[in-house]
Amino acid sequence: MDRAGLRRRLLKAQAEAGDIVLLFADESEALTHPYLAHVWAKKGADLRVPAPGQRAKVAMLGVLDWARRDLIGHTSRTKRSSDFIALLEQVDRRYGPKLGLATRPLVLVLDNGPVHTRRRHVLPSPNAPTGSGLSGCRNTRRSSTTSRFSGAI
């Protein structure tokens, strides 16, 4: 087993034991009017399926809580940095620090998609509060990026 597989297995065990909050994030895009590439049709026939409305692209971003099997989703017309930040704000509202409650460390596992490997997401902002947990954020060029936050996003 490679190191990434072992590390992922250890993180999953920690999440199931309740020691950490393990979140897996990913994004995808879909067309509202898909093109049919492989079909049986007469030569020269139109391969589009008639559907109401205009053709558009929908971006879907999501975060899965491994232990609770809870899904947080965000949809938009674009897959931009601002959409990823909006998803992180939803995660912060749900898992961020709350007065009078103890918080567990949060581990967010990302792939190397361009929407969340941009420098503005990797480095903490200069005006971020010191206790926000963003100081522990890091980015590596592996097949999977794991960002460890101490308490909040």
Q: What percent of the chain has pLDDT over 70?
A: 69
Helices and strands (DSSP H and E) totals, the chain:
3, 5
Query: Is residue 80 one of the residues assigned to a domain?
Result: yes
Query: Is residue 68 one of the residues assigned to a domain?
Result: yes
- What distance in Å separates the CA atoms of residue 126 and residue 123, rounded to the nearest whole number? 9
Q: Which domain covers residue 116, as residue numbers? A: 3-32+55-149
Give bridge partners of residue 72 from the DSSP assignment: 63
Query: Is residue 49 one of the residues assigned to a domain?
Result: no
Q: Considering its fold, how many domains does the chain have in total?
A: 1
pLDDT tens, position by position, 40-56: 778 888 777 667 777 78
Whole-prediction pTM: 0.64
Which CATH number is 68's domain given? 3.30.420
pLDDT tens, position by position, 70-124: 999 999 888 888 888 999 999 999 998 888 888 899 999 988 776 656 655 544 4
Helices (H), 18-147: 81-95, 119-122
